[in-house]
Structure formats: C-alpha cells, structure tokens
Chain A
C-alpha cells in the first residue's frame, strides 16, 4: 500500500497552486465584497481546462483522474470557495450528462461544458425543499415533442450567469431531471445577494412559468431523477465540497503560520505560546485527516468501487465540520484583525459555515452515514 501522489498528480497540484496564487488569491477578498466573480477569470479557468478536468478527452475534457480533480478543488478552495463552487455546480451538471445523458445530449453539451464555453448550474433546492429533496414541488408536464415546467428554485449557485441548468421536477408524480437553457421561454432568474458565505457565488432564484423545453432535454429517463441522476450529481458535489473544505482549512493554517510568525505580544511571537501551538496542532492534524479521507474517496472513484459513495459522505462530513472549527480558531488567533475585512480569515469562517449546510447538511449526513455504512458492512 502506498499513500502518495504520483509524479503527475504532484506536478498537476503544483500547477494548480501556481495558477490560483497568481489569478485568484490576490482578488478573492474583493470578489467577496463585490459578491461576484468576473467573467474574465471564468474564461481563464475554462482555458486552463479546469472546468472539464475529469471529463473524457473525447468530450473535450482533460481526462484526469478523480484524485487530481480533488487536488484542483483543494487549491481553488484554499483561495476562494465561491470560485470553487463554480467548479462544483458546473461539474455536477456535466457529470449528469456524462453518466446518464442520451447520445444527443452528450454531443450537444459536453464539449462546450468541458471547455467552459457555457456554464452549468444545479437546480434542486426550492424555497420549501432543502434536505427533503424528494418533496420537490416543481412540476413537468409531457407533451408530444416537449415538456412544460412550472416551479421555483432557490439558492442556486451561479444562477446569475449559468447558460444551462440541471432541473429536478416531478413529471406526473415521478422525479425526473431536465436540462433547461437560460433562454427557454418561461424561464427567468432573480439574483440573490447578502449571503453569509460564498458571497461571490452569484446565487439566484429560478422561476419556471410554463417553461417549455424540447423533449430531448430529458436527462436519463422519467422517474429515475432521484434513484440514478441525483446520486451521481450529489456524489460529485460532496466530493468537491469535501476537498474544498480541506482547501479552506489549509488557507486558514497558512494564514495562521504567517500571522503567528509576525505578531508579538508580551515580547514573544504568538507562535511561541503553548495555547497557540495547541490550536495549530489541531489544525494540522484535522487537515491531514480530512485530506486522507478525501484521497480514499477519490481512490475508490478511480477504481469504480461502490464504497466511494459512503466514503464521500464521510469525507464531506468530517471535512466540513472540522473546517468550521479550524476557521473559528484562525479568527481567534488573529484577534481583532481576524474580525476585519482586511484579513481573509473572516471570509474563511463565513465560507466554512456554508460548507456544513450545502450538499447534505451535517445533520443529514449524521443520520445517513450510520445507515449506509451498516448496509456496506453487510456487503463486505
């Protein structure tokens, strides 16, 4: 057994870090204040191949393994969770098409998504529906050559600028997934601002009022929205968020190492005080543990092992709960500076809190992991 990145993975990680340090780190606090990501950065990210990193080469992607994808999400998450959210939701849409899209859908959408020529966003959550996804109220009605959708989605990351949305709706009582293009008749968006964290993720409400889409925009089959399309997308989303949490925590840790090496109180540097060292030790061990869980989940994905589904839940649960503690301590270490918008740690704390809510809340995971792992033990 060898727990080590391959030379290619290590090289890719270094390249991701260099790109992020150059193009995202210097601007992330400004993105947060402005509550938006400039399209110029999204284009750069697309040009780097980061929006299709794990998509097959035949579909315009880079064909990288899932561990490499995780490393990208960690590095981007280290700089800016809002930008990392773009990779998440865009990737969820692409994965749904890759796994369950018809040949026509794959041909029409995948290469453009892989190259970042169009942006995808994920439309599951509704005003009355969060964790209880099965109770979605959006409806789809089938006609001969088209569907008509009615409903309202909320808290949709990058809803303000996405070109295509993966929408879940009840089609004659059966949960079904559809692709809805931004310019579809009857489709409109309303921006959301003032969020606690990932403020630059450009959230929106989506309104579908007799929204008409071609019948070819069905993803998978009617009735398989929750059993097959949803798990694929949520698995990707949770995996991305787990790695993103490792990134936030790593960002907190690096900020604390810098700060405690510069700041003196009572004549000594903060890093020399035992209680500060305890907090740093907790950060280091939690980050390493979370990263190992993410690597395990990624390894299982790369070898097609079904255990990846629960390992990803575990990685997300651990990473998102530990990053809230790490970010809390990072602010504590920075003192008043940590509460100021002049320092990034306050943004990390706000972003960390959001990670415990999205892609499966902490409480949902606490219930699910025990249930699913007991099931897995039966299969071992």
Chain B
C-alpha cells in the first residue's frame, strides 16, 4: 500500500466531503482549492512527510492531483535521504 498516497487521499477526503476525488482529478481546475488551502497543503505535506517544498517545485504539475502530490513527496523524500 502506498502510505504517502493514502495520507494525501485521507487529507482531501476530510476537506472535500461528499466529493468523489479520483487520484488523477485536477483539483485546481475543478475549483476546489483556494489560496489558503494551497499554502495549508504545502505546510501539511512538509510537516507530515518531513520534507521541504522548494522554489523549483512550484509547478502546477506537482500539485494538481493526488498522484502529482504523491510523486512530489516521493521525489523530495529521496533527495532528503
């Protein structure tokens, strides 16, 4: 089981109740995310996975779906190790 993906899914499930969010749903295009959420997501990911999101990670492709965020976490965790 992909632990990182399950944690991100659980985070969004709590946030977007009654919404069937698939792993590849574009959360920005769907209008779910406001500016507070974007920053909260960064802080949640950094604290939960003990990684740092850097300047070069600022790309919608890294944040726009559960799959994308999971991929970013894994890349950052590998850099940290």
Contact = CB atoms under 8 A, between A and B. Distances in A.
A309 B55 contact: no
B37 to A, nearest CB: 7
B15 A375 contact: yes
A227 B35 contact: yes
Contacts of B42: 228
Interface string B2-38: 0000000001001101000000000000000001111
A306 B55 contact: no
B8 to A, nearest CB: 13
A343 interface: no
B43 interface: yes
Contact of A378 (B17, B35, B38, B46): B17
A102 B57 CA distance: 11
A375 B35 contact: no
B80 interface: no
Given A102-B55, A224-B58, A231-B35, A306 B43 contact: yes
Interface in B50-81: 55, 58-60
A309 B17 contact: no
B36 A223 contact: no
A357 to B, nearest CB: 20
A310 interface: yes
A372 B58 contact: no
Given A220-B55, A221-B55, A306-B44, A226 B17 contact: no
A365 B46 CA distance: 26
Contact of B58 (A100, A226, A235, A368): A100
Nearest to B50: A304
A305 interface: yes
Contacts of A306: 39-40, 43-44, 47
A304 B44 CA distance: 8
Contact of A220 (B15, B46, B47, B58): B58
Contacts of A308: 43
A327 interface: no
Contact of A221 (B38, B39, B47, B58): B58
A379 interface: yes
Contacts of B43: 304-306, 308-309
A378 B15 contact: yes
A25 interface: no
Contacts of B58: 100, 220-221, 224, 228
A72 interface: no
B16 to A, nearest CB: 8
A379 B15 contact: yes
Interface in A221-271: 221, 223-224, 226-228, 230-232, 235
Contacts of A116: none
Nearest to B39: A231
Contact of A309 (B36, B59, B60): B36
A305 B40 CA distance: 9
Contact of B38 (A231, A304, A368, A372): A231
- Across the A-B interface, give the 8 residue pairs with the lowest CB-CB distance, nearest first: A306-B43, A231-B39, A221-B58, A227-B38, A306-B40, A304-B47, A224-B58, A378-B14
Interface of A: 100-103, 220-221, 223-224, 226-228, 230-232, 235, 304-306, 308-310, 368, 372, 375, 378-379
Interface of B: 11, 14-15, 17, 35-40, 42-44, 46-47, 55, 58-60
30 contacts: A100-B58, A101-B55, A103-B55, A220-B55, A220-B58, A221-B55, A221-B58, A221-B59, A224-B58, A227-B35, A228-B42, A230-B35, A231-B35, A231-B38, A231-B39, A235-B39, A304-B43, A305-B43, A306-B44, A306-B47, A368-B36, A372-B36, A375-B15, A375-B37, A378-B14, A378-B15, A378-B17, A379-B11, A379-B14, A379-B15
